[in-house]
Amino acid sequence: MSFAIADQKSTSVGWEDLRSERKKKIRRGGDLSKKAPSKVSGRDFSWTRILFELASKLFLVGVVIYLFYASYNFLMSDPRFQITNISFNGNHALKENELLEWLGQVHGENLFKYNLSKASERIVDHPWVLSASVQRRFPQGIQVELTERIPYARIKFKKVFLMDNFGVILSEEKPEHHHLPLIVQSSKIVKPENFSGEKVIQSLKTMHYFNKLSFFEKNPLEIAELKGHSRIIFFTRNREIRIQMSMERLTDGFKKFMIVLDTLEDDAGKFHMIDLSFKDQVVVRDRISSHSKSMKTPTN
């Protein structure tokens, strides 16, 4: 009897243990089910926050783009930025009206749309302009800074033109430049736009060196006549003395003149032509007769 009772007790104890284990599992399951929704809601909240931040940033970007667009339209279309004032600085021979015609339409143009580079190029294309720059002057003006070419000599084709020290033809002769040296172009078919003044400029510099000498102080050289492509003849103011030189040997010719200068000063009133175009000699022709004499010059 005692054994049976013991078995029954152990069985009841076992059932109790099973029930307690089930209750624990149920409690654990309930805890898990309670915790799971909290995890899902946390993830949803983080995605919502990310989307909100992204939308906020996109909105700010849109606002900035709109402000830029509105500002651009304002600057490009507002009449308060239309050009009404144009000032020039550095022009002396050129008048403002002439420069405005050369520059083209400017008044009424938008200050920000106006192309400053092209405007500078148009000004520089003028024969009298060596360099130029165009700058904005807020709110309604532009300023043109330019450097003019300086007339260096006159050159005669069918008409007389002015030329600068780079050999660039500037314009027709003006009365205020009548004192400049005159170059006579012997070839009638040559036009100013096809003229290359590089060698002529070198010959004019040689003329300038001659005029620094006391020999030409009272009667300076003022006219240069081109003879073909290789020779040039200088004339004094009263046309009494001529100096002929080779365009290829201007420096050598000047040196030869300096060698025979003392002799020439003694006979200054007797000759009318000094020919320096030969390589090793100077030919001097008398004014009265056709007689000429040759003076040898030492060679290096």
Per-residue pLDDT of the chain (300 residues; tens, 9 = 90+): 444 444 444 555 565 666 666 666 556 555 545 555 554 456 667 888 888 888 888 888 888 888 887 777 766 777 788 899 999 999 999 999 999 999 988 988 888 889 999 999 999 999 999 999 999 998 889 999 999 999 999 998 888 999 998 888 999 998 999 999 999 877 665 566 667 677 788 888 899 999 999 989 889 999 999 887 788 999 999 988 999 999 889 999 999 999 888 777 776 667 788 999 988 888 988 876 555 555 555 544
Structure confidence at residue 163 (pLDDT): 92
SS3 content of the chain, % helix, strand, coil (to 5): 45, 25, 30
Amino acid 167 reads G
Q: Which long-range contacts (CB under 8 A, 24 or more apart) does 280-288 make?
A: 282/256, 282/257, 284/260, 287/240
Q: With contact defined as beta carbons under 8 Å apart, do 209 and 254 qualify?
A: yes
Burial degree of 100 (CB within 10 A; 0-12, 13-18, 19+):
middle
- What are the C-alpha distances in Å from 136 to residues 113, 129, 145? 11, 20, 11
Q: Are strands 231-236 and 160-164 parallel, antiparallel or unpaired?
A: unpaired
Structure confidence at residue 12 (pLDDT): 58
Sheet holding 85-89, edge to edge: 85-89, 141-148, 129-137
Q: With contact defined as beta carbons under 8 Å apart, do 282 and 257 qualify?
A: yes
Looking up tokens 């783009």, which residue turns up?
65
The CA-to-CA distance between both ends of the chain, in Å, stands at: 157
Structure confidence at residue 68 (pLDDT): 81
∠ CA 158-162-165 to the nearest 5 degrees?
Answer: 130
Q: With contact defined as beta carbons under 8 Å apart, do 234 and 223 qualify?
A: yes
Structure confidence at residue 286 (pLDDT): 81
* CATH no. for 81-148: 3.10.20.310
Structure confidence at residue 72 (pLDDT): 74
Domain extent listing, the chain: 1-77, 81-148, 151-296
Return the CATH number of 151-296, one of 3.40.50.300, 1.10.10.10, 3.40.50.11690, 1.20.1290.10: 3.40.50.11690
H/E stretch holding 265 reads: helix 261-266
Q: With contact defined as beta carbons under 8 Å apart, do 94 and 150 qualify?
A: no
Structure confidence at residue 44 (pLDDT): 65
Q: Where are the alpha helices (DSSP H) in 78-111?
A: 96-103
The reported pTM is 0.67
